[in-house]
Amino acid sequence: MNYKFSHKLDGLKPSAIREILKYSSKSDVIPFSAGNPPSEAFPINDIQKITNDILKNKPVAALQYGVSEGYEKLRNYLKEDLSNRFDINCDSDVIIVSGAQQAIDLVTRTFCNCGDVVICENPTFIGAITAFKSNNVNLVGVNLENNGVDVEKLEKAFKQNPNAKIFYTIPNFQNPTGITTSEEKRACIYNLAKKYGVIVLEDNPYGDLRFDDEDINPIKSLDDEGIVIYVGSFSKIFSPGLRVGYISANNKITQKLVILKQANDVHTNLLSQITVFDFLTKYDIKAHINKLKKLYKHKYDLMNNCINKYIKGYKLNYIKPKGGLFIWLELPESIDMLDFCNKAIKDHSVALIPGNVFYIGQNIKSNAFRANYSAPSDSQIECGIKIIGNMLK
Amino acid sequence: MNYKFSHKLDGLKPSAIREILKYSSKSDVIPFSAGNPPSEAFPINDIQKITNDILKNKPVAALQYGVSEGYEKLRNYLKEDLSNRFDINCDSDVIIVSGAQQAIDLVTRTFCNCGDVVICENPTFIGAITAFKSNNVNLVGVNLENNGVDVEKLEKAFKQNPNAKIFYTIPNFQNPTGITTSEEKRACIYNLAKKYGVIVLEDNPYGDLRFDDEDINPIKSLDDEGIVIYVGSFSKIFSPGLRVGYISANNKITQKLVILKQANDVHTNLLSQITVFDFLTKYDIKAHINKLKKLYKHKYDLMNNCINKYIKGYKLNYIKPKGGLFIWLELPESIDMLDFCNKAIKDHSVALIPGNVFYIGQNIKSNAFRANYSAPSDSQIECGIKIIGNMLK
């Protein structure tokens, strides 16, 4: 049969980095590509104890159908936690989703008709770009500065796109650039969104993984109009394989999200929802996150030192991240980055992601690559950066 | 803020049975409403042993990110199983999804643009109706006969709707009617779909729960053109809370489905995918299904006997199901069924679903209700049917 697929799929071309990703899964590759936590980041023993306990003492609660909103105890815990930590409230409800990716997809479906506009930081998270495109919306990218999105250009984008429905932002240790949006800019983004009637979709998967300094409150904490949708995830601080994330938003919005969630996958895996809840309430989540912060800070420092040591003769344009999982290196001169990353993986088994794939707009050239430091071992970090340095010579 | 939601949500009105469902969750209610397995249907000890084993011996495989296609060993097992049992092959691939509900949603998104038509058996599964509507497609219902869809009317619907992209069918023990599509009709459906270039979406959540007789091969087994998409689920034979289902389709289709799956939730919960695989390969799935069949046959027989005993003076129009979870009773005279079911829950704590909610088209009246026999206990079945009989007097 000659299939006629939906137009939604037109914008979703086979990825330019498919080749890189294909090679990346090999065991001898240095994994600077994905955002995977390392094996030692999973609280394996605790998860084993918890699931064992659940399947012994309340198995039916974990194995039976649940409600689309999510496990009520987990929802209540998160509501209180968000309220305590960030002063998030004002009729905000919390629903559980199957990872932050589902949150982005459901929010888009809730607000966007075909042809509506979503405004993004440019560059931004590939998964978000794919989710937006799969919903047939038009994407408008706004450049990033060292302290977050260029707010003048953001206002211009809001003005020029009266059918803009959503502004998507990752304020902490942005993927891929590692940039953190300053407190001032957060307020500015909120005020602009309010002025132009645009929903802010605030994605915060890495926020807990801050190396030093004080947390900056999320944009959601400023929200007295119900225009900010806050998305959290347990993928980076607990386990990505279990697919548990959450959305905090005004309850008029969550009511709509729940309808679409029900139509999409009924509810999120219950055993994992209860596992997350038990970990949060019966185990030491703070100690666990502190352990992760130390681990990632160490890996980041090592990668940073190796860059200074091995990538010589280049004045790299690189904003030092204050947390998260990624560094973003812009090389000073014109390099075909796709070609460079292809060579890195094929000739040297170093998996990097070329910067251009994170940009809205197909033909943007980028001198940058993204390197992840959470997945590789210490020796892989040293060895991989050394190889990159030699390639640049 | 005065939210402007997507038009997708326009067709998704608050459910007419919300009140019934609200009361249904109370513990003293007789649960004839949902399609939940009873507690004793879950292989709790096996699941406990399996998850324990996974988290002891291969925890990282279960807790790390996985690929969107699903756990490879489970995919390969299912490919072989479908090939052995049903002769399903012809370039068919298998991908894992977060329950059959996600399969329906993803298939719709893969083939349908706004305004395209999906043709359904009428009445049909509420979750499918919601998934279709949430994708802004137009639904056309085709009446059911005792041995499946009215194929003359189906052809007429195909002719009248040149933008029909999908025909959605549940050939075994259909939800809500319990009707099984005959072998002849399956062939007829396949040939019509081929003639009119429409994809058949074959949903088979209950197929394994056949009381007696031989299995009838799925429509997919006839498919030499790659026009049938077969959806299976572990919700009814293993656990709905773990949200694991699968899609078997031509690999040109699965390639598109995987892109949308990735944009939707990255991948299905890995711990549960591996748990399902281990159960299928290391435990006695056949014995488990035989146990379920016996249990449901017993409950069905009991409900059937109670109907004959307590609902007297009515010649009920009721097709005896050959498996699955539901019976569908059409009362011979005009009753306001929504009113009847509201009374049943509020005055008598018996939860039934009024037939009209399963129909395409808002204003269809129905003299039928759906009663589930898997969830209630034996004494609840007897007591509930007795109450319904008294209400009808």
Evaluate if residue A8 carries a pLDDT over 90: no
- pLDDT tier, A362 (very low <50, low <70, confident <90, very high otherwise): low
Please report residues of B whose CB lies closer than 8 A to that of A52. Answer: 48, 51-52
Contacts across the A-B interface (CB distance below 8 Å) = 228
- Whether the per-residue pLDDT at A16 is higher than 90: the answer is no
Taking phi over 0 as left and psi of -120 to 50 as alpha, with beta for the rest, B337 belongs to: alpha
Going from the C-alpha of B89 to that of each of B61, B221, B227, B251, the distances in angstroms are 29, 8, 12, 11
Q: Does B304 touch chain A (CB under 8 A)?
A: no
What phi, psi does B37 have (nearest 5°)? -70, 150
Contact B5 A63 (CB under 8 A): no
**Structure tokens given for B350:** 């018996």
Note whether B240 and A64 are within 8 A (CB): yes
Q: Does B174 touch chain A (CB under 8 A)?
A: no
Q: Does residue A165 belong to the interface with chain B, where contact is any CB pair within 8 Å? A: yes
Element (H, E) at A348: helix A337-348
The ipTM of this complex is: 0.96
> What pLDDT does residue B16 have?
64
Q: What is the mean pLDDT of chain A?
A: 93
User: How wide is the angle at C-alpha A135 spanned by C-alphas A133 and A140, nearest 5°?
Assistant: 45
Tokens at A98, concatenated: 């199957």
Tell whether B292 lies on the interface with A, counting CB pairs under 8 A.
no
Q: Do A4 and B165 touch (CB under 8 A)?
A: yes
User: B61 to chain A: nearest residue by CA?
Assistant: A241
Measure CB to CB from residue B266 to each of A66, A99, A270 and give the nearest one.
Answer: A99
Q: Which of A63, A241, A259 shows the shortest C-beta gap to B270?
A: A241
CA distance B337 to chain A (A): 24
A44-69 pLDDT, tens digit per residue, is 999 999 999 999 999 999 999 999 99
Which helix (DSSP H) or strand (DSSP E) does residue B124 occupy? none
φ/ψ region of B119 (left if φ > 0, alpha if ψ in -120 to 50, else beta) reads beta
Is some CB atom of chain B closer than 8 A to the CB atom of A146?
A: no
Q: How many CB atoms lie within 10 A of CB B341?
A: 27
Please name the member of A63, A134, A241 whose beta carbon is closest to the beta carbon of B62: A241
CA distance A230 to chain B (A): 16
pLDDT band at A23 (very low <50, low <70, confident <90, very high): confident
B377/A contact by beta carbon, under 8 A? no
Fill in the DSSP letter of residue A199: E
What per-residue confidence (pLDDT) applies to B279?
98
Say yes or no for a CB contact (<8 Å) between B127 and A239.
no
Q: What is the C-alpha to C-alpha distance for residues B299 and B324, in angstroms, rounded to an integer?
A: 11
Mark which residues 213-252 of B lie under 8 Å from A by CB: 225-227, 235, 239-243, 250, 252
Distance of CA B23 to the CA centre of its chain: 23
Predicted confidence (pLDDT) per residue in A226-264, tens digit:
999 999 999 999 999 999 999 999 999 999 999 999 999
Chain A from 87 to 116: CB within 8 A of any B CB:
98-99, 101-102, 105, 109-114
Closest in A36, A101, A269 to B269, CB measured: A269
Pick the residue from chain A with its C-alpha nearest to B34. Answer: A65
Smallest Cβ–Cβ distance between B39 and the set A4, A60, A133 belongs to A60
With CA atoms as reference, the chain B residue closest to A136 would be B113
Predicted local distance difference test score (pLDDT) of residue B212: 83
Alpha-carbon distances of B341 from B124, B353, B372, rounded to whole Å: 19, 7, 14
Which residue is closest to B97 within chain A, CA to CA? A265
CB within 8 Å: A269 and B39: no
Q: Does A6 touch chain B (CB under 8 A)?
A: yes
* Euclidean distance between CA atoms A344 and A19, whole angstroms: 12
**Cα A153 off chain centre by:** 23
Q: Spell out which residues of chain B touch residue A64, defining contact as CB-CB under 8 Å.
A: 36-37, 39, 42, 239-241
A223 Cβ contact list (under 8 Å, min separation 6)? A88, A90, A92, A190, A200
- pLDDT tens per residue across all 393 residues of chain B: 889 999 888 888 766 666 677 777 788 999 999 889 999 999 999 999 999 999 999 999 999 999 999 999 999 999 999 999 988 876 789 999 999 999 999 999 999 998 899 999 999 999 999 999 999 999 999 999 999 999 999 999 999 999 999 999 999 999 999 999 999 999 999 999 999 999 999 999 999 999 987 889 999 999 999 999 999 999 999 999 999 999 999 999 999 999 999 999 999 999 999 999 999 999 999 999 999 999 999 999 999 999 999 987 666 778 899 999 999 998 877 788 888 999 999 999 999 999 999 999 867 788 899 999 999 999 999 999 999 999 988
The alpha carbon of residue A74 is apart from the nearest alpha carbon of chain B, in Å, by 16
Do the chains contact at B272 and A268, CB–CB below 8 Å? no
Cα separation of the two ends of chain B: 52
Alpha helices, H only, chain A: 18-24, 44-57, 59-63, 72-86, 100-111, 126-133, 151-160, 183-196, 251-265, 270-282, 285-310, 337-348, 378-392
Give per-residue burial for A11-35: e unless 16+ CB within 10 Å, then b: bbeeeebeebeebbeeeebbbbbbb
Residue A161's pLDDT band (cuts 50, 70, 90): very high
In whole angstroms, give the CA distance from residue A297 to residue A320. 12
**CB nearest A113 (choices: B6, B36, B256):** B6
Is the pTM for the entire model greater than 0.90?
A: yes
How far does B318 lie from chain A, in Å, by closest CA? Answer: 28
Q: A100-111 and A251-265 are packed helices; what angle lies between their axes, rounded to 10 degrees?
A: 110
Residue A57: how many CB atoms within 10 A of its CB? 9
Q: Phi/psi of residue B249, each to 5°?
A: -155, 165
Strand partners, B144: B149
Q: Is B386 helix (H, G, I), strand (E, B) or coil?
A: helix
A252–B3: do the CB atoms touch at under 8 Å? yes
Give the burial class of B56: count Cβ atoms within 10 A of its Cβ; 0-12 exposed, 13-18 middle, 19 or more buried: exposed
Give me the residue from B59, B264, B265 closest to A42, CB to CB: B59
C-alpha A285/C-alpha A290 separation (Å) is: 9
- Does A270 contact chain B (CB < 8 Å)? yes
Tell me the DSSP string of B277-302: HHHHHHS-HHHHHHHHHHHHHHHHHH
d(CA A85, CA A95): 18
B chain contacts of residue A134, beta-carbon cutoff 8 Å: 109, 259-260, 263-264
- CB contacts, 8 Å: A6 with chain B: 109-113
Q: pLDDT (tens digit, 9 = 90+) per residue, A133-149?
A: 999 999 999 999 999 99
A5 — contact with chain B (CB < 8 Å)?
A: yes
Residues of chain A in contact with residue B37, where contact means CB-CB under 8 angstroms, are: 64
Q: How does B116-125 read in b/e, with b if 16+ C-beta sit within 10 Å?
A: bbbbbbbbbb
- A269, B98: Cβ pair inside 8 Å? yes
Nearest CA in chain A to B239: A63
> Are residues A32 and A235 in contact, defined by beta-carbon separation less than 8 angstroms?
no
Name the residue facing A272 among B6, B131, B271 (closest C-beta).
Answer: B271
Q: According to the model, what pLDDT value does residue B98 have?
A: 98
